[in-house]
């Protein structure tokens, strides 16, 4: 369907992120299993639960918009997940793999932040206050997840990866 109005554009973008989140619920358990750091594994498992809640919130948004809940294939998320899969197949040292998995997860978070920021702006522009509030809640969760991953990388995982690589952490 070609978007004719801002609300049509909003719905198209919501369908894209809805499919992206559904793809992510299938990928996160694999990322958790591939993580060697217990903290990283826990972060992935926690984000899986959060993602399920975000899907439910998107379903609420579709209800608010009185439109059918369905996804539109998200090539971007498919590519990001494919990159994460490649990392798991590279045969990296466990500590280095964890650092690479965080980088892959942060790419996903940045895509989600951009996507939710966009749909939030569209909903706000359309005067859809309730929809904007729901989307802002998810946007804030995605930003918080990115921050947590960044801190885990800086304070723990990257240092261990450097040590496993035979170098001293700065």
For residue 91, is it within any domain?
yes
CA 16 to chain CA centroid, Å, is: 13
Asked if residue 130 is part of any domain, the answer here is yes
45 belongs to a structural domain: yes
Q: Give 101-125 pLDDT, tens digit per residue.
A: 999 999 999 999 999 999 999 999 9
pLDDT at 166: 80
Residue 106 structural domain: 6-162
Residue 121 sits in a domain whose CATH number is 1.20.1260.10
Over residues 28-39, the pLDDT tens digits come to: 999 999 999 999
Q: Is residue 142 part of a domain?
A: yes
Q: Are 130 and 60 in contact (CB under 8 A)?
A: no
Task: Report yes or no on 170 lying in a domain.
Answer: no
Q: Which residues of the chain have pLDDT under 50?
A: none
Q: What's residue 69's pLDDT?
A: 87
DSSP 3-state assignment of 167? coil
Distance of CA 54 to the CA centre of its chain: 10
Q: What is the dihedral of CA 69, 73, 75, 76, to 10 degrees?
A: 0
Q: Does 62 fall in a domain? A: yes
Please give the model's pTM, rounded to 2 decimal places.
0.92
CA–CA distance, 29 with 40 (Å, rounded to integer): 12
Is the distance from CB of 67 to CB of 1 less than 8 angstroms?
A: no
Q: Could you tell me if residue 168 is inside a domain?
A: no
């Amino acid at each position: 369907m070609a978007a004719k109005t801002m609300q049509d554009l909003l719905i198209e973008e919501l369908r894209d992120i809805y499919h992206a989140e559904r793809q992510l619920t299938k990928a996160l358990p694999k990322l958790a299993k591939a993580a060697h750091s217990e903290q990283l594994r826990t972060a992935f498992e926690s984000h899986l639960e959060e993602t399920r809640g975000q899907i439910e919130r998107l379903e609420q948004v579709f209800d608010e918009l009185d439109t059918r809940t369905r996804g539109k294939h998200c090539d971007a998320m498919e590519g990001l997940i494919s990159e994460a899969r490649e990392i798991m197949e590279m045969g990296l040292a466990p500590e280095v793999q964890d650092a690479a998995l965080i980088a892959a997860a942060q790419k996903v978070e940045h895509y989600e932040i951009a996507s939710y920021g966009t749909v939030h702006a569209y909903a706000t522009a359309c005067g859809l206050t309730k929809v904007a509030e729901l989307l802002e809640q998810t946007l804030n969760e995605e930003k918080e997840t990115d921050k947590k991953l960044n801190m885990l990388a800086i304070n723990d995982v990257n240092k261990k990866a450097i040590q496993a690589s035979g170098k001293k952490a700065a």
